[in-house]
Amino acid sequence: MNRVAMILAVGIGLASPAYAQTAKISDDVVKIGVMTDMSGQFSHESGEGSVTAIKMAVEDFGGSVLGKPIEVIVADHQNRNEVAIAKAREWYDVTKVDLIANLINSSIALAVTNVAQEKNRIAIVNGSGSSRLTNDSCTPNSIHYAYDTYALAQGTGKALIKEGLNTWYFLTADYAFGHALESDTANVVKANGGTVVGSIRYPIDTADHSSFLLQAQASKAKVVAVAGSGTTFINAVKSAKDFGLTDGGKQTIAGLLVWITDIDSMGLSTAQGLLLTNAFYWDRDEETRAFSKRFFAKMKRMPHMGDAGDYSSTMHYLNAIKAAGTDDAKTVMAKMREMPVNDFFAKNGRVREDGRFVHDMYVYEVKKPSESKYAWDYYKLHAVVPGDEAFRPLSESKCPLIKK
């Protein structure tokens, strides 16, 4: 009997690691909540595209991890902080969501990442850009994945200064993202010998930029930099063309955050010549084209860096759970920092201790209509910015998680 008991004990001991591994998935399901703008001015940069990308990642992963199902739920935050915070608390506390993803709109991303820290869950930001997310507002529970305002400034700001466009006027969206984008770009302009001659802020829901553009025109700055995104950015560029700001090369419009969907909406005749910084272009190589073809089949448009980042970061999260043997937030965050990312989105990408996902960024110029050979053939490569140069160095960071 003792011998039998010993054999049974050994058998149970050998089996227990696999059993324990599957048992470490909380509530027997991994829940991903996509919190995004489904109907407002940022919906074309997130919305159904982000939901589709994340669901594609879950499907490609196999629909389960460590023997447990992966569930995706969706909420529209309506670009209202109080709605986003209430939903985040409900998801983490009641619905038992493990990861909140996308988080377009920087003020909302800043609020929800704080809730993630409070509840010891995870938030991965792809839609929003404020570099504060990994600077003074960093958390141990959040990752900023696709891009940020610091990287956009390093790309577009430096590229235009090199072309001799050294006087700048900012037309800035009056919310967290716009403020961060103006601040980061202004710092780059000044550090490289340029001058900021003025700025004005516009409400993010404004449809008429006439008075703002007249002031930008009167400044005679070589560059009118639009520090904003969404439909207001598109309207601003169209209005600038109508006002003749760019006629004869008098002034250059700089889009500090430009999505390929913006270009498609404006058309190449309006957008041609714009310099922009991006983390992803669908036509960059065979891997990006393969993913984009599948995405296009579902969305009838090409993916942008937010969509690609949502897919890549979701896969990274699920791979980290698999490698860690648990969905415990602290353990999974540690594993995501430990594991590199090598996929169509990034090569040798890595998550730093401040939550910044570091990868190469790309400066593109929008093609003239005559240069475009097929549908969505919009960009030509201007420069590659290595990840270590694109994102804020840790030595300059105010993130309290960094040991100095």
| pTM, to two decimals | 0.90
Q: What is the pLDDT of residue 294?
A: 98
What integer best gives the mean pLDDT of the chain?
91
Confidence band for 13, pLDDT divided at 50, 70 and 90: very low
Q: What is the pLDDT of residue 209?
A: 72
Q: What is the pLDDT of residue 62?
A: 98
User: Residue 366 corresponds to which tokens in the numbers above?
Assistant: 């929008």
Q: What is the pLDDT of residue 51?
A: 98
| Residue 153 predicted with pLDDT over 50 | yes
229 within 8 A of 277, measured Cβ to Cβ: no
**Spatial distance between the Cα atoms of 160 and 166, rounded to a whole number of angstroms:** 8
- Higher-pLDDT residue of 399, 216: 399
**Domain co-membership, 51 together with 117:** yes
**Domain co-membership, 48 together with 197:** no
Lowest mean pLDDT among 180-189, 224-233, 241-250, 294-303: 241-250
60 within 8 A of 315, measured Cβ to Cβ: yes
**Domain co-membership, 97 together with 192:** no
Q: What is the pLDDT of residue 18?
A: 41
**Domain co-membership, 269 together with 165:** yes
**Domain co-membership, 93 together with 174:** no
Q: What is the pLDDT of residue 11?
A: 43
Confidence band for 253, pLDDT divided at 50, 70 and 90: confident
| Residue 14 predicted with pLDDT over 50 | no
**Domain co-membership, 114 together with 221:** no
Confidence band for 205, pLDDT divided at 50, 70 and 90: confident
**Spatial distance between the Cα atoms of 204 and 216, rounded to a whole number of angstroms:** 17
Confidence band for 21, pLDDT divided at 50, 70 and 90: very low
Q: What is the pLDDT of residue 20?
A: 40
**Range 209-221 average pLDDT:** 87
218 within some domain: yes
275-331 pLDDT, tens digit per residue, is 899 999 999 999 999 999 999 999 999 999 999 999 999 999 999 999 999 999 999
245 within some domain: yes
| Residue 15 predicted with pLDDT over 60 | no
Q: What is the pLDDT of residue 404?
A: 67
393 within some domain: no
168: Cα within 13 Å, side-chain hemisphere: 31
79 within some domain: yes
248 within some domain: yes
Look up the CATH number of the domain holding residue 133: 3.40.50.2300
- Higher-pLDDT residue of 178, 116: 116
**Domain co-membership, 119 together with 223:** no
| Residue 232 predicted with pLDDT over 80 | no
12 within some domain: no
**Spatial distance between the Cα atoms of 163 and 185, rounded to a whole number of angstroms:** 16
**Range 104-124 average pLDDT:** 97
DSSP tally for the chain: helices H, then strands E? 15, 15
222 within 8 A of 228, measured Cβ to Cβ: no
**Domain co-membership, 228 together with 370:** yes
| Residue 32 predicted with pLDDT over 60 | yes
**Domain co-membership, 134 together with 274:** no
**Domain co-membership, 94 together with 165:** no
Domain that holds residue 184: 150-278+361-385
Q: What is the pLDDT of residue 123?
A: 98
- Higher-pLDDT residue of 336, 8: 336
Q: How many domains, in total, are found in the chain?
A: 2
| Residue 23 predicted with pLDDT over 60 | no
Confidence band for 41, pLDDT divided at 50, 70 and 90: confident
Q: Residue 382, Cα to own-chain centre: how many angstroms?
A: 21
Pick from 40, 125, 111: nearest CA to 79: 40
| Residue 97 predicted with pLDDT over 70 | yes
211 within some domain: yes
Confidence band for 244, pLDDT divided at 50, 70 and 90: confident
Lowest mean pLDDT among 211-215, 221-225, 280-284: 211-215
Q: What is the pLDDT of residue 197?
A: 97
According to DSSP, the β-strands at 223-227 and 64-65 are unpaired
Q: What is the pLDDT of residue 103?
A: 97
- Higher-pLDDT residue of 241, 146: 146
**Range 106-121 average pLDDT:** 97
158-188 pLDDT, tens digit per residue, is 999 999 999 999 999 888 888 999 999 999 9
**Domain co-membership, 59 together with 142:** yes
133 within some domain: yes
The 3-class secondary structure across the chain, one letter per residue, is CHHHHHHHHHHHHHHHHHHHHHHCCHHHCEEEEEEECCCCCCHHHCHHHHHHHHHHHHHHHCCEECCEEEEEEEEECCCCHHHHHHHHHHHHHHHCCCEEEECCCHHHHHHHHHHHHHHCCEEEECCCCCHHHHCCCCCCCEEECCCCHHHHHHHHHHHHHHCCCCEEEEEEECCHHHHHHHHHHHHHHHHCCCEEEEEEEECCCCCCCHHHHHHHHHHCCCEEEEECCCHHHHHHHHHHHHCCCCHHHCCEEEECCCCHHHHHHHCHHHHCCCEEEECCCCCCCHHHHHHHHHHHHHHCCCCCHHHHHHHHHHHHHHHHHHHHCCCCHHHHHHHHHHCCECCCCCCCEEECCCCEEECCEEEEEECCHHHCCCCCCCEEEEEEECHHHHCCCHHHCCCCCCCC
Share of the chain above pLDDT 70, in %: 93
What residues does 226 pair with on adjacent strands? Answer: 171, 255
